Amino acid sequence: MPFYLKRGQLPNKRHIQFRDDNDNLFPEELISRQGFSHIYSNVYHLSPPTAIKKVGDVLPIKLEPWNHEHRHHHIRTHNIKSKGNAISSRIHLFYNSDIIISKASASTSMEKLYRNGHYDECIFVHKGEGILKTNFGSLHLSFGDYAIIPRGVIWQLEIEQSMELLIIESKGSIQTPKKYRNDLGQLLEHSPYSERDIKTPELAKPVVNESIEVQVRLEKGLQSYEYQNHPFDIIGWDGYYFPWVFNVNDFMPITGKIHQPPPVHQVFETNGAVICNFVPRLFDYHKQAIPAPYAHSNVDSDEILYYVSGDFMSRKGVEEGSITFHPSGLPHGPQPGKTEESIGAKEANEIAVMIDTFRPLQMTTYCSEIDDSDYPLSWLDSE
């Protein structure tokens, strides 16, 4: 995230002696992206972060592709039967070489710590509440929050109220869109949100002399490590690299005289994909405006739309937790009657998350169990 933060105790210069009251050095750790050529944070521990007592076996994570027809899909994710914590309850639904999209129903707190070594994570909170505890500090999560967790951050989610989560894992960094930033990384005046809207972690009291298991997510699976010292033993840190939270309700929609295209709804970007959100907003104000979107064929991108809450103006038959999947090249748009019905409407009352990928998505076999097979025919005029 392109702004500077500092928390806790710090020496006045990097890489110099920093000692406790007993003259013991605080071990320093640099956590950086793109080698030493991008954002980083310096953190200071009570104990060396390198001491590992045991390395566990790799538990493979296999994504089984569903060999389905090339068509539109409606996936009813409210029918997913999963339970456990924010990791064990994940059901992988879509993937390509850039991202993995999953749903989780987390009813129990994580006992182990977790670190994603190969993917950044964006966790959208559809329902429930919890505390995201990380080595950089804690963040409260509730409805509408996007938690952005860069790879390498060590964390666990403590459940306060059962949580329904949409999860995007990305091989690229998840960040604010370049089009909304100036050359120095500050969000511009015309950006639909600003740094004031971003929640950052508050450093907790360090955990002392406690070994713990950390599950590490690798591209090929999960591997456990037993740390000799709890990685939440940090007494201070500063830099640009840390987890952060943005709430969908703080997104200020860009509207116009006629219908605005989806890029105005973009909230994040990553390699190979963009993330947008649709929020309550005033409709177009040209006297002949058509608020419903026009039919479109995106020949270079697949579209995932996750329905969160409200009245989904252009679509019928969807409900909270539905996902529509519109593959590249196939035209889609409002269903019969929805365009005419939208004329004269003054405002939208909906929240949805959209993910557009620039490489084709695979569906997992789990999708076959919750797919609405009649959805491709929903554009037929029933009259």
Q: What is the pLDDT of residue 382?
A: 62
Which helix (H) or strand (E) segment holds residue 340: the answer is helix 338-342
Sequence-distant (6+) residues with CB within 8 A of 133 are: 155, 156, 157, 158, 204, 232
Q: How far apart are CA 152 and CA 167, in angstroms?
A: 17
DSSP codes joined into one string, 303-323: EEEEEEEE--TT-SS--TTEE
Q: What is the pLDDT of residue 107?
A: 97
Q: What is the pLDDT of residue 209?
A: 83
Q: What is the pLDDT of residue 313?
A: 76
Would you say 92 and 63 are in contact if contact means Cβ atoms under 8 Å apart?
A: yes
Q: What is the pLDDT of residue 1?
A: 63
Q: What is the pLDDT of residue 324?
A: 97
Domains with residue ranges and CATH for the chain: 49-67+81-233 (2.60.120.10), 248-377 (2.60.120.10)
Q: What is the pLDDT of residue 81?
A: 86
DSSP collapsed to 3 states, 249-306: HHCCCCCCCCCCCHHHHEEEEECCEEEEEECCEECCCCCCCCCCCCCECCCCCEEEEE
Please give the chain's pLDDT, 383 residues, in tens. Answer: 679 999 999 999 999 999 999 999 999 999 999 999 999 999 999 999 999 999 999 999 999 999 989 999 999 999 998 999 999 999 999 999 999 999 999 999 999 999 999 999 999 999 999 999 999 999 999 999 999 999 999 999 999 999 999 999 999 999 999 999 999 999 999 999 999 999 999 999 999 988 999 999 999 999 999 999 999 999 999 999 999 999 999 999 999 999 999 999 999 999 999 999 999 999 999 999 999 999 999 899 999 999 999 988 778 889 999 999 999 999 999 989 899 999 999 999 999 999 999 999 999 999 999 999 999 999 998 64
Q: What is the pLDDT of residue 255?
A: 94
Q: What's this model's pTM, rounded to 2 decimal places?
A: 0.96
The strand pairing partners of 167, in sequence order, are 102, 123
Q: How far apart are CA 18 and CA 35, in angstroms?
A: 24
Q: What is the pLDDT of residue 316?
A: 80
